[in-house]
C-alpha cells in the first residue's frame, strides 16, 4: 500500500468506528503521528488532506514545521510527546494544542510562557505504568481533582480535555477499560476532548468516545528504528 491508500483505509476505519459509537461521521479528528518521518512524507500527507499532525520532540518538530511552512503547508500542529519545561515557550509558540501536559510544573511553565489562551490536554497514566508519563489517579498526595482545579485556574491555559496512551496489551478488554476510565473522568469534570487511540487500538478508543486519535504507522507505514 502507498500512503494515499493507507490514509484512505484509515479514514474508512475511523468513520466506521465513529458511526458504531453513535456519533456523526467526521466528528473524530485524525492526527497523523509523524515522529521519525521526513518532511517530504509529512508534506505528502498534508497534500492528501491530512490537516492535523502530531510530533513528539521539539528539536525534531521545529525544522519539520518550518520545512512545511516553506512549501506553504500549515497543518494544525499537535504536540503529543513528553515536553521538558525548558521547551515550554517554543512549544507554546509553535503548536496549536499540547496533548501531553503531565506535571503541574509544566502547566505552570506553559501558562507563564504563552501569550494568549493555549489549548492543552492533561495526560493521564491510567494504569500507573512506571514507563509512562502523565498524572496518576492513585497519588494520595495529589488527587487528580486537585490537579485539574489548579491547572484550570491558570489564566493562559484552556484545558480542553484528557489524553492517554493505553497499556500495551493483547487483551482488548484491558485496553478498552483504560479508555472507559479516561472517558468517565472527562465526563465527571465536563471536559469535551479525549485524545486516545493509536494504530493498535484506535477503533476501540473511538468506540469509547475518543474525539482525537493519534495514528502513526497505519498512515505512514512502519518507522525505521
Ligand atoms: C508514536 C505515537 C503515537 C502513534 O503510534 P502508532 O502506533 O504509530 O500509531 C500516538 N501517540 C503518541 C504519544 C506517540 O508517541
- Measure the CA–CA gap between 21 and 166, rounded to whole angstroms: 19
pLDDT of residue 115: 87
- Measure the CA–CA gap between 95 and 91, rounded to whole angstroms: 6
pLDDT of residue 224: 83
Question: Using a 6 Å cutoff on CB, does residue 165 contact ligand 1?
Answer: yes
Question: Using a 6 Å cutoff on CB, does residue 198 contact ligand 1?
Answer: yes
Here the cell at position 9 is 483505509
Evaluate if pTM is beyond 0.95.
yes
Atom of ligand 1 nearest to the CA of 220: 8
Question: Using a 6 Å cutoff on CB, does residue 80 contact ligand 1?
Answer: yes
pLDDT band for 225, please (50, 70, 90 cuts): low
Task: Give yes or no for a contact between 134 and 175, defined as CB atoms under 8 angstroms apart.
Answer: no
pLDDT of residue 196: 98
Per residue in 96-134, pLDDT (tens digit) is: 999 999 999 999 999 999 988 999 999 999 999 999 999
Tell me how far the alpha carbon of residue 114 is from its chain's centroid: 19
Amino acid at each position: 500500500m502507498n500512503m494515499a491508500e493507507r490514509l484512505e483505509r484509515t479514514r474508512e476505519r475511523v468513520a466506521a468506528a465513529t458511526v458504531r459509537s453513535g456519533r456523526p461521521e467526521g466528528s473524530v479528528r485524525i492526527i497523523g503521528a509523524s515522529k521519525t518521518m521526513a518532511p517530504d512524507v509529512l508534506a505528502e500527507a498534508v497534500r492528501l488532506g491530512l490537516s492535523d499532525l502530531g510530533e513528539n520532540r521539539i528539536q525534531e518538530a521545529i525544522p519539520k514545521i518550518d520545512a512545511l511552512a516553506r512549501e506553504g503547508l500549515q497543518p494544525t500542529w499537535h504536540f503529543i510527546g513528553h515536553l521538558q519545561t525548558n521547551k515550554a515557550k517554543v512549544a507554546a509558540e509553535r503548536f496549536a494544542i499540547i496533548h501531553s501536559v503531565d506535571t503541574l510544573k509544566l502547566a505552570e511553565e506553559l501558562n507563564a510562557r504563552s501569550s494568549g489562551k493555549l489549548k492543552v490536554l492533561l495526560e493521564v497514566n491510567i494504569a500507573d505504568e512506571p514507563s509512562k508519563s502523565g498524572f496518576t489517579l492513585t497519588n494520595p498526595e495529589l488527587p487528580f481533582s486537585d490537579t485539574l482545579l489548579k491547572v484550570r485556574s491558570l489564566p493562559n491555559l484552556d484545558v480542553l480535555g484528557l489524553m492517554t496512551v493505553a497499556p500495551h496489551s493483547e487483551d482488548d478488554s484491558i485496553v478498552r477499560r483504560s479508555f472507559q476510565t479516561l472517558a468517565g473522568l472527562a465526563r465527571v469534570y465536563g471536559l469535551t476532548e479525549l485524545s486516545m487511540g493509536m494504530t493498535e487500538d484506535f477503533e476501540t478508543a473511538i468506540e469509547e468516545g475518543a474525539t482525537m486519535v493519534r495514528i502513526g504507522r497505519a498512515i505512514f507505514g512502519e518507522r525505521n528504528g
